[in-house]
C-alpha cells in the first residue's frame, strides 16, 4: 500500500512572529495529519520592512518584507504558507502553482494581492483582533503617561532637572475619574479600552456610526454620540478606527482646533488618521495639553521631524501591539485555520 506523502507547510516568520511558535501551534493543532514544515525567519524588526513604496513586481502591496525570489525559494512546493510579512504578488503566485492556502498572522492582509489570490483559487485567511488586547493595554498606559506628566517628569530627570513644578496646581495632571474620555472607533480595540476605562470611573463617550454599543456598556453609562460631540466634550480623545477614505486625516487643522483647550490626544491606531503638520502647529501653540503618538505618516520617523522636538508630545515606535501574547494568540489562530483546511471545514476568517 502506497504511503500518502506528508502535507507540506512553509512558515515564513520573523523576529516578532517567530516561526518556532507557528510550528509549535501547527504541530499541536494538526496532530491527525502528517505534515512536513519548513520554517524560516525574516530579520524584521531588526531590519525595516517595505511600507508601500513602489517596488517592481509588488504593485499594491504594503508592509511586507522579502523579495519575490526569496519568497518563492522559502515556500517551495508547499501547499500552505503561514506568514506574517512575506509578500505575495500576482507574479509570485504564478511561480507557486501548488499553493492553496495562505494564513497571514495580521489583522489585514496588506502584503497579499487579494484579487490575484481569488483569481488563482488561493484561499487567504487572517487573524483579526490578534493584538487588540495588547493595544488596549498600551492605550491606557499612553493616556496615563500624558495626563499624569509621567513622560514630562521622566524626560526632565534624565536631563538633570528635578521638576518640582509638576506639583503646581496649574501644571499637575488630572485624574481620569474627573475626566471625559472620548473614543473614536468601537472595534476590537475600542471595546477593550472602554472595559479598562470603566475601572477608573471616568465618563466615557464613543463615536462609531457603524457599530452599536453593547448592552453591558449602555447599562454602565457609556454614551454613544457623534464625532462632533466627542471633539467638543472630551478631555482625552483616543483614536481606534480603521483607515478608510472617511477616516483618513480625520484629525486635521479644523478638527484639532475644535477639541477642548488643554485636552489630550492619543493615537495608538494608524498614522493616516492624522494630519501631522497640522498637529505640530496646534501643539506648538499649546492649544492641546499633550499628545501621545504611537504611529506616524512615515515610519521610521525621520530624525528631523519637528514632532520630536515638542515637549508636550510623547512618541513611541509603533509598538502598541507587540506582546508575547499577541504572537502566541496569532499563531494559534493561523494553526486552527490550517487544521480546518485539512479537515475540510470552512475557514473562520477568510479574507
Among candidate residues 270, 294, 336, 339, the one labeled active-site is: 270
Q: Assess whether 84 carries a catalytic annotation.
A: no
Same CATH topology for 7-130+324-343 and 132-315: the answer is: yes
137 is catalytic: no
- The C-alpha cell of 133 is what? 488586547
Question: Exactly one of 29, 40, 240, 318 is catalytic; which is it?
Answer: 318
pLDDT at 54: 64
Domain ranges within the chain, ordered by starting residue: 7-130+324-343, 132-315
The pLDDT value recorded for residue 299 is 84
C-alpha–C-alpha distance, residues 81 and 93, integer Å: 11
Superfamily of domain 7-130+324-343, CATH level 4? NAD(P)-binding Rossmann-like Domain (3.40.50.720)
Which residues are within 8 A (CB) of 286 and not within 5 positions of it... i.e. 6 or more apart? 312
270 is catalytic: yes
* pLDDT block averages, 10 residues each, the chain of length 351: 85 97 97 95 93 76 93 97 97 97 94 96 96 97 95 93 91 93 97 98 97 97 98 98 94 97 96 95 94 90 92 94 96 98 96 92
- What pLDDT was estimated at residue 1? 55
C-alpha cell at 171: 501644571
> CA distances (Å), 266 to each of 45, 231, 279, 333, in order?
24, 13, 12, 29
> Which one of 24, 137, 299, 340 is the catalytic residue?
299
pLDDT at 344: 95
Report the CATH fold assignment for 132-315.
Rossmann fold (3.40.50)
Specify the DSSP element, H or E, that contains 26: helix 19-29
> pTM of this prediction?
0.90
pLDDT at 53: 64
Amino acid at each position: 500500500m502506497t504511503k500518502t506523502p506528508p502535507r507540506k507547510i512553509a512558515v515564513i516568520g520573523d523576529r516578532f512572529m517567530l516561526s518556532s511558535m507557528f510550528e509549535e501551534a501547527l504541530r499541536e493543532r494538526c496532530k491527525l495529519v502528517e505534515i512536513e514544515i519548513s520554517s524560516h525567519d525574516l530579520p524584521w524588526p531588526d531590519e525595516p520592512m517595505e511600507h508601500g513604496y513602489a517596488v517592481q513586481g509588488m504593485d499594491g502591496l504594503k508592509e511586507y518584507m522579502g523579495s519575490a525570489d526569496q519568497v518563492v525559494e522559502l515556500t517551495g512546493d508547499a501547499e500552505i504558507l503561514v506568514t506574517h510579512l512575506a509578500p505575495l504578488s500576482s507574479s509570485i503566485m504564478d511561480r507557486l502553482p501548488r499553493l492553496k492556502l495562505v494564513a497571514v498572522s495580521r489583522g489585514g492582509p496588506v502584503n497579499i494581492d487579494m484579487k490575484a489570490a481569488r483569481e488563482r483559487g488561493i484561499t487567504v485567511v487572517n487573524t483579526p483582533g490578534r493584538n487588540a488586547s495588547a493595544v488596549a493595554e498600551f492605550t491606557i498606559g499612553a493616556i496615563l503617561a500624558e495626563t499624569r506628566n509621567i513622560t514630562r517628569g521622566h524626560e526632565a530627570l534624565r536631563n538633570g532637572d528635578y521638576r518640582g513644578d509638576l506639583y503646581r496646581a496649574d501644571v499637575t495632571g488630572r485624574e481620569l475619574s474627573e475626566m471625559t474620555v472620548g473614543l473614536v472607533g468601537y472595534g476590537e480595540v475600542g471595546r477593550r479600552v472602554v472595559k479598562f476605562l470603566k475601572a477608573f470611573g471616568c465618563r466615557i463617550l464613543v463615536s462609531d456610526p457603524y457599530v452599536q454599543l453593547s448592552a453591558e456598556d449602555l447599562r454602565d453609562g457609556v454614551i454613544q454620540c457623534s464625532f462632533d460631540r466627542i471633539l467638543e466634550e472630551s478631555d482625552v480623545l483616543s483614536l481606534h478606527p480603521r483607515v478608510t477614505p472617511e477616516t483618513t486625516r480625520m484629525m486635521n487643522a479644523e478638527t484639532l482646533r475644535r477639541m477642548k483647550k488643554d485636552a489630550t490626544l492619543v493615537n495608538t491606531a494608524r498614522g493616516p488618521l492624522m494630519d501631522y503638520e497640522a498637529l505640530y502647529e496646534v501643539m506648538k501653540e499649546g492649544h492641546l495639553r499633550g499628545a501621545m503618538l504611537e504611529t506616524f505618516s512615515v515610519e521610521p520617523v525621520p530624525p528631523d521631524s519637528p514632532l520630536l522636538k515638542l515637549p508636550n508630545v510623547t512618541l513611541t515606535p509603533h509598538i502598541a501591539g507587540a506582546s508575547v501574547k499577541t504572537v502566541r494568540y496569532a499563531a494559534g489562530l493561523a494553526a486552527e485555520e490550517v487544521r480546518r483546511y485539512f479537515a475540510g471545514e470552512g475557514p473562520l476568517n477568510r479574507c
